[in-house]
Amino acid sequence: MNKTIIININGIIFHIEEDAYEVLKNYMTDVKRHFANAEDSLEITTDIENRIAEMLSDMLTRENRMVVVAGDIAAIIAQMGTVEDFETSGADHKDGFAGYQTYTDNRKLFRDPDDHLLGGVCAGIANYFDMDTVWIRIAFAIAFCFGGTGLMLYIILWIVVPKAESRTDRMAMKGEKLNLEGFKRNFEEELKNVHATFKSAGTEARPFVYKARDFFGDFLHHFGFFYRVLGGYCLKCSG
């Protein structure tokens, strides 16, 4: 008979055995200590806690249990990795992210809120298949010419496909590993993008008409390339 306690992880209540709680508390203490000097340590540790809460909920639901045990925490730590894991790898690799890569097989389909003209459907599909977004938009434009099929399909996907709300969603959308190394990498890449955005604030402040002109110019360029390739293929077939 083991003693259980009740904990709250970012708004989700869990019943957890006392020994499992001690392991989890020590793990999160190490994580918070490691990220204490990060530019926004609270945000990244909160995202990691959210991920742990999701994993615990999935485990309990899948196995129809109500109490978190020590084995659950051990499995989560094994999947997330420890601070020591990537601190050690960082000593051997300049950027601290040895062997980091995306894993296409693990990607999930979300609408991309950071790259959208309407609902982020095209960008989400492009992320899922690791393609340039403009090709997906061209495909929808071509489908639109066939009785509005492209528009109907876009609206359906807009309704059905969830938006990538959290960092975990955005990482899963791009196939990034959901462990400590992945969270740190994603967070630092996000900061780089924020800094780059501030540096290009003058360009981003251009009137909408110029930005629209640039987009449609790029779109027509790819669209023309697509039809040239298609036309060449049709000529070969007819010859």
Strand partners, 16: 5, 68
How confident is the model at residue 74, as a pLDDT? 95
Helix axes 133-144, 121-129, angle to 10 degrees: 120
* Res 96 pLDDT > 60: no
Which tokens belong to 189?
Answer: 């890449």
Q: Taking the model in full, what pTM does it have?
A: 0.61
* Residue 191: band (very low, low, confident or very high) from pLDDT cuts 50, 70, 90: low
**How confident is the model over 209-217, as a mean pLDDT?**
55
More confident residue, 29 or 44: 29
How confident is the model at residue 95, as a pLDDT? 47
Following CA atoms 186, 189, 194, 196 in sequence, which dihedral angle do they give, to the nearest 10 degrees? -160
Q: Are 183 and 44 in contact (CB under 8 A)?
A: yes
Task: Give the whole-number percent of the chain exceeding pLDDT 90.
Answer: 30
- The helix or strand, by DSSP H or E, that contains position 106, with its residue range, turns out to be none
145-158 core/surface letters (b: 16 or more CB in 10 A; e: else) = eeeeebeeebeebe
* Apex 231 CA angle, 227 and 234, nearest 5: 140
How many angstroms separate the CA atoms of 127 and 122, rounded?
Answer: 9
**How confident is the model over 14-42, as a mean pLDDT?**
90
How many alpha carbons lie under 13 Å from residue 128 in its C-beta half-sphere?
15
**How confident is the model over 44-57, as a mean pLDDT?**
90
* Res 168 pLDDT > 90: no
How many angstroms separate the CA atoms of 63 and 193, rounded?
Answer: 40
Strand partners, 116: none
